[in-house]
Amino acid sequence: SGGKINTDAIDNSAGVDSSDHEVNIKIATGILERTGVLNRAKRDRLLKSMTDDVAAHVLAHNYGQTLALSLMDLDSSGELEPHAQFMSRLEREGRLDRAVEGLPDTKLITARADAGLGMTRPEEAVLLAYGKLELSHDIVASRAPDDPHFAAVLEGYFPKALRKYDEALRRHRLRREIIATVVANDVVNRCGPSFPSRLMAAASCDTHAFVAGYEAAKAVLGLPALWDTVAGLDPAIPGQAPAAGQMALFRRLAYTLRGETFWLARRAGRTGAGVAELIKRYGPGTAILRKLGPDVLSEVEQARTREQIDRLVEAGAPEALAAQVANLQPLTTAVDLVDLAEASSWALPNVARLYHQTGAAFAFDRLRVAAGGFTAGDAFERTAVRRLLGDLLAEQATLTRSIMAFAASPQAGETQESAQRAVASWTALRHAAAEAARKSIEEIEAAGGGWTFAKLTIASAALRELAASARVAKKG
């Protein structure tokens, strides 16, 4: 029935990983021997000196896999349908036999869904492996390993003593496969086995754009350092976060990473940008917004962030770390804000204030909270809601751009109050369209019964009409 056990493949992964490292290291040292950089005696001493480093790498990989399974456990019931779709697709492509792998068939999946259950941990371990294999294969077949960013990923795979021989590493005959394996392991461990295919479908991007967006998202948000800080918490030490608090922090980081990856992957898909280009364009602006903190957000967004902090603290997370993690989520709008600022003469903080006050005035912030918490319906409906979220952000950016043009002076975004006045003045000139949108949303909220997909769709349509009127007015 699963419980908290692992499969043998997980528990014995260190042995396989050690063998893989040994083979790849000896290929690299073979190049050094053939080119006269090392003789056999020096090569043997070098190999021996790297023993502890290889062991540390292998143990870190093993930790990452078991953590991945624990994260999957937290969302097992909610992710059951996406996992079922993942298995069905692999079956259709002839790459999976459920009976051979001991995975549940369609009838059992339905029974578990009715009972509110998800996959067991051993079943999740099998899916984890298939997710990594699929993504690794796709990365090798793409141009992603040729991105200069991944030279550091390749070096990081090898022990420190070997990294100085960078020419040998670049000539490694399995260079692309090593890069693909490292990246696939990282993606699937943090975000789950079905995440890559789901995101590429939602963002309409290829593997290269997905990988570029993922790597840039980690860098732009400063996520690796935060992830390591959370990993450094030891639930066994009194005074540190209990396991529930640590897992809640990991879960929130993974959620934010998924969102940021979507926006950056979509831009990479449209522009062909590589990792460095995405980081250069969006990293500095995101850092500026991080320093500003939640003060530039609308009241609804500030309350939402405080709520997230409180939940993390309630689970046992240290308050300062909980705030750091929760404050990352609003930064996923930074890509739109940077684009708006670069297309104008406005300073980024001023754009941010106007953007968020526009969101407050037309209920974009409330709708995003409602859509972000939507869990009802089937997987297709939830996918539609995620796309609707993208539409809402695009419409908010359109209205912000129109209000920026109307205000003319960047001073309109100097303070929250001046931003509110600019939005109010713009609204007064478009009273009929603005009131129609507001009335539609207010009627839905007054009806009670919570937000449904139909209600979200109607509200989004009302805002889309308002954004369309702003575009028409600009052309006129």
Task: Tell me what the pLDDT averaged over the chain comes to.
Answer: 93
Q: Residue 320 burial (CB < 10 Å; 0-12/13-18/19+)?
A: exposed
Over the range 396-422, which residues count as b (16 or more CB within 10 Å of their CB) and which as e? bbbbbbbbbebbeebebbeebebbbeb
Taking residues 106-118, report their average pLDDT: 94
Report the pLDDT value the prediction gives residue 428, as an integer from 0 to 100: 93
1 pLDDT exceeds 60?
no
Report the pLDDT value the prediction gives residue 261, as an integer from 0 to 100: 97
Q: Residue 51 burial (CB < 10 Å; 0-12/13-18/19+)?
A: exposed
4 pLDDT exceeds 80?
no
Kindly report the CA angle at 410 between 404 and 415, in degrees rounded to 5?
Answer: 100
CB atoms within 10 A of CB 236: 7
- CA–CA distance, 130 with 135 (Å, rounded to integer): 9
CA 316 to mean position of chain CA atoms = 23
- pLDDT band for 449, please (50, 70, 90 cuts): confident
283 or 6, which is more confident: 283
- For the record, the structure tokens of 164 come out as 């100085």
- pLDDT band for 345, please (50, 70, 90 cuts): confident
Q: Which of 195-204, 228-237, 319-328, 331-340 has the lowest mean pLDDT?
A: 228-237
pLDDT in tens, 168-188: 999 999 999 999 999 999 999
Report the pLDDT value the prediction gives residue 65, as an integer from 0 to 100: 93
- Cβ atoms of residues 249 and 241 within 8 Å: yes
Report the pLDDT value the prediction gives residue 474, as an integer from 0 to 100: 60
- pLDDT band for 12, please (50, 70, 90 cuts): confident
- Cβ atoms of residues 416 and 353 within 8 Å: yes
Unique residue bearing structure tokens 């005074």: 239
Q: Please provide the size of the chain in residues.
A: 476
Using alpha carbons, select from 174, 232, 143, 194 the residue that is nearest to residue 22. Answer: 174
Over the range 339-352, which residues count as b (16 or more CB within 10 Å of their CB) and which as e? bbbeeeebebbbbb
Q: Reduced to 3 DSSP states, what percent helix, strand and coil does the chain have, rounded to the nearest 5?
A: 80, 0, 20
307 or 476, which is more confident: 307
pLDDT in tens, 351-409: 999 999 999 999 999 998 888 777 666 667 777 887 888 889 999 999 999 999 999 89
- Cβ atoms of residues 326 and 312 within 8 Å: yes
- For the record, the structure tokens of 335 come out as 């890509």
Taking residues 34-43, report their average pLDDT: 95
Report the pLDDT value the prediction gives residue 470, as an integer from 0 to 100: 82
465 or 377, which is more confident: 465
237 pLDDT exceeds 90?
no
Read off the pTM.
0.93
Taking residues 455-475, report their average pLDDT: 83
Report the pLDDT value the prediction gives residue 453, as an integer from 0 to 100: 84
- CA–CA distance, 335 with 203 (Å, rounded to integer): 15
Using alpha carbons, select from 292, 291, 297, 267 the residue that is nearest to residue 279. Answer: 267
Kindly report the CA angle at 211 between 209 and 215, in degrees rounded to 5?
Answer: 120
For 364, list phi and psi in degrees, rounded to 5.
Answer: -60, -40
CB atoms within 10 A of CB 222: 16
Report the pLDDT value the prediction gives residue 23, as an integer from 0 to 100: 96
Unique residue bearing structure tokens 């805002």: 463
421 pLDDT exceeds 80?
yes
- pLDDT band for 326, please (50, 70, 90 cuts): very high
Report the pLDDT value the prediction gives residue 192, as an integer from 0 to 100: 96
**Residue type at position 145:** P
- CA–CA distance, 305 with 326 (Å, rounded to integer): 6
For 436, list phi and psi in degrees, rounded to 5.
Answer: -60, -45
475 pLDDT exceeds 60?
no
Give me the sign of the Cα torsion angle 102, 103, 109, 113: positive
pLDDT in tens, 450-460: 888 889 899 99
Q: Any long-range contacts for 21-25 (C-beta under 8 Å, 24+ apart)? A: 21/54, 21/57, 21/58, 22/54, 24/157, 24/158, 24/172, 24/174, 24/178, 25/50, 25/54, 25/158, 25/159, 25/162
Unique residue bearing structure tokens 């009273």: 431
Report the pLDDT value the prediction gives residue 2, as an integer from 0 to 100: 52
- pLDDT band for 109, please (50, 70, 90 cuts): very high
Report the pLDDT value the prediction gives residue 144, as an integer from 0 to 100: 97
**Residue type at position 189:** N
Report the pLDDT value the prediction gives residue 369, as an integer from 0 to 100: 85
pLDDT in tens, 61-87: 999 999 999 999 998 998 999 999 999
Collapsing DSSP to helix, strand or coil, 35 comes out as coil
Taking residues 45-60, report their average pLDDT: 95
Report the pLDDT value the prediction gives residue 308, as an integer from 0 to 100: 96
Give me the sign of the Cα torsion angle 52, 57, 62, 63: positive
Taking residues 418-446, report their average pLDDT: 93
- pLDDT band for 290, please (50, 70, 90 cuts): very high
